[in-house]
């Protein structure tokens, strides 16, 4: 395959081409266009597809192979992270500052040019948060937000989207608390999308896209909204 499918409103909000038709280069590019309505986004995630594009581009939809995932029981906390987790000044909150977290994730970083979290993307995930699908895990030092992450929960799968830190290890603390919540609440899989040395050091690994899709079939249904506390 040398081209990708352009999505149109006539196909319906839940329709995507088979993920096996995604390009090998760039890895996982599946479709272009469409919109970011809650219906389309939820259908995409349930099929192992996510949006990722820059300002000025149409929406690009991806399903890479292999897929980076974290099984909660395989999370690895270094000695320094375990010390951080014991700091009484650092506390964790869930869903108390979702909009702030996503805006912090969109802020410019020294290691990257621009951001893929366009205003349109942020508005779409804030809408999913209001509907009970998107959630934030927040690391606080007193009343100052110093790190966090956000993503979606569908059934027993948490689809991680982005994280940020304003001090060392603050995003890792948020991920550790997400893992604790996952183990307690029966979340079986955390999707990390694309591997990185940072995530690999915390226990993530790559699995074939076919296996990832099979796990979604097993764990995503039913996937009603969840209210986190």
3-state secondary structure of 206: strand
Cβ burial 2-18 (10 Å sphere, 16+ → b, else e):
eebbebeeeeebeebbe
* Span 73-90, pLDDT tens digits: 999 999 999 999 999 999
* Span 119-178, pLDDT tens digits: 999 999 999 999 999 999 999 999 999 999 999 999 999 999 999 999 999 999 999 999
pLDDT tier, 189 (very low <50, low <70, confident <90, very high otherwise): very high
Domains of the chain, CATH where assigned: 5-64 (3.30.70.3550), 68-219 (3.40.630.70)
* Span 16-43, pLDDT tens digits: 999 999 999 999 999 999 999 999 999 9
Q: What is the pLDDT at residue 116?
A: 77
Q: What is the pLDDT at residue 216?
A: 97
Contacts of 211-216 with C-beta under 8 Å, sequence gap 24+, read 212/48, 212/66, 212/67, 212/69, 213/19, 213/47, 213/48, 215/69, 215/157, 215/188, 215/189, 216/46, 216/47, 216/48, 216/157
pLDDT tier, 108 (very low <50, low <70, confident <90, very high otherwise): confident
For 149, the token pair is 């992450």
Query: In Å, how far are 9, 41, 52, 222 from 36, measured between CA atoms?
Result: 12, 6, 11, 22
Is residue 53 within 8 Å of residue 60, measured between CB atoms? yes
Question: 107 vs 223, which has greater pLDDT?
Answer: 107
């Amino acid at each position: 395959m040398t081209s990708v499918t352009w999505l149109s409103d006539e196909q319906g909000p839940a329709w995507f081409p088979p993920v096996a038709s995604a390009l090998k280069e760039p890895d996982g590019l599946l479709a272009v266009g469409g919109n970011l309505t809650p219906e389309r986004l939820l259908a995409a995630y349930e099929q192992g597809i996510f949006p990722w594009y820059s300002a000025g581009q149409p929406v690009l939809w991806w399903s890479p192979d292999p897929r980076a995932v974290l099984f909660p029981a395989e999370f690895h906390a270094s000695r320094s992270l375990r010390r951080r987790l014991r700091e009484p000044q650092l506390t964790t909150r869930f869903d108390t500052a979702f909009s702030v977290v996503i805006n912090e994730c969109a802020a410019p970083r020294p290691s990257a040019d621009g951001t893929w979290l366009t205003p349109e993307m942020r508005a779409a995930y804030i809408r999913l948060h209001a509907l009970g699908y998107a959630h934030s895990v927040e690391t606080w030092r007193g009343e100052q937000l110093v790190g966090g992450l956000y993503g979606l929960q569908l059934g027993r799968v948490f689809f991680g989207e982005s994280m940020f830190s304003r001090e060392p290890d603050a995003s890792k603390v948020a991920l550790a608390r997400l893992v604790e919540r996952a183990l307690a609440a029966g979340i079986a899989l955390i999707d990390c999308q694309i591997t990185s040395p940072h995530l690999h050091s915390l226990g993530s690994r790559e699995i074939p896209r076919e296996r990832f899709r099979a796990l979604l079939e097993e764990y995503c249904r039913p996937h009603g909204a969840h209210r986190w506390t």
